[in-house]
């Protein structure tokens, strides 16, 4: 049996490295994505009245998307720096380091699309639907809503679907990258 390693101040100082920061950043991003995608929204949806739920999502999603953009950008920059050949082999999809860069790029693109395009359009549609509900005195899902409400419902459903798809693709790209890191590590030192 090997002797246990003694923890020294020198060892503690070595914890603060680019490689350590990479793993902490990835862990934060993956954990946040897991929570927002599969737990936080479901809990809020089941707990809050619909308009309050919508207001909460309207406030939290931009923060989530922008943190995702920041961290995935940093991870992609560090990954590219540690694997400089990526830029010359950008179409070599079978190369593992290139595939990992694409995984991080997928997160960045999906969350940027959500932050700057889909999210604002979805919120605008949601608030228009809330306003129309007040004007008509009917909930959006009542059988005899107006044609305008039906159109808003279709638009909201489509936008929400696009946003969910972009977020889910980002989550699976992070899972792929995390499995890679767990099995093969990183060389961003």
Residue 174 lies in a domain: yes
Helix, strand, coil percent content, the chain, rounded in steps of 5: 80, 0, 20
pLDDT digit string, tens, across residues 8-54 = 888 888 888 899 999 999 999 999 999 999 999 999 999 999 999 99
DSSP helix/strand/coil, 6: coil
Residue 32 vs residues 61, 67, 79, 110: alpha-carbon distances, Å: 11, 9, 20, 15
DSSP 146-183: -HHHHHHHHHHHHHHHHHHHHHHHHHHHHHHHHHHHHH
| Prediction pTM value | 0.90
Kindly tell me if the per-residue pLDDT of 1 is higher than 80: no
Q: What's the number of domains the chain is made of?
A: 1
Residue 9 lies in a domain: no
Residue 3 lies in a domain: no
Residue 2 lies in a domain: no
132-169 burial: b if 16+ Cβ within 10 Å, else e: bbeeeeeebeeeebeeebeebbebbeebeebbeebbeb
Residue 63 lies in a domain: yes
Residue 8 lies in a domain: no
Residue 156 lies in a domain: yes
Residue 114 lies in a domain: yes
Instruction: Determine the average pLDDT of the residues in 68-82.
Output: 97
Parent domain of 47: 18-184
Residue pair 177/106 in contact (Cβ under 8 Å)? The answer is no
Considering the chain, what percentage of its residues have pLDDT values greater than 70? 99
């Amino acid at each position: 049996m090997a002797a246990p390693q003694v923890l020294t101040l020198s060892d503690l100082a070595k914890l603060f490295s680019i490689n350590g920061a990479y793993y902490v950043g990835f862990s934060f991003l993956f954990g946040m994505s897991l929570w927002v995608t599969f737990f936080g929204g479901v809990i809020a949806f089941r707990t809050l009245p619909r308009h309050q739920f919508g207001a909460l999502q309207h406030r939290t999603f931009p923060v989530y998307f922008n943190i995702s953009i920041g961290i995935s950008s940093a991870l992609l920059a560090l990954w590219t720096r540690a694997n400089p050949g990526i830029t010359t082999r950008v179409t070599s999809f079978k190369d593992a380091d290139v595939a990992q860069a694409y995984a991080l790029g997928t997160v960045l693109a999906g969350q940027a699309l959500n932050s700057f395009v889909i999210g604002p359009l979805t919120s605008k549609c949601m608030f228009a639907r809330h306003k129309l509900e007040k004007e008509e005195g009917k909930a959006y899902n009542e059988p005899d809503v107006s044609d305008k409400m039906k159109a808003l419902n279709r638009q909201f459903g489509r936008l929400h679907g696009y946003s969910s798809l972009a977020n889910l693709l980002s989550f699976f790209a992070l899972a792929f990258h995390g499995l890679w890191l767990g099995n093969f590590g990183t060389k961003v030192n």
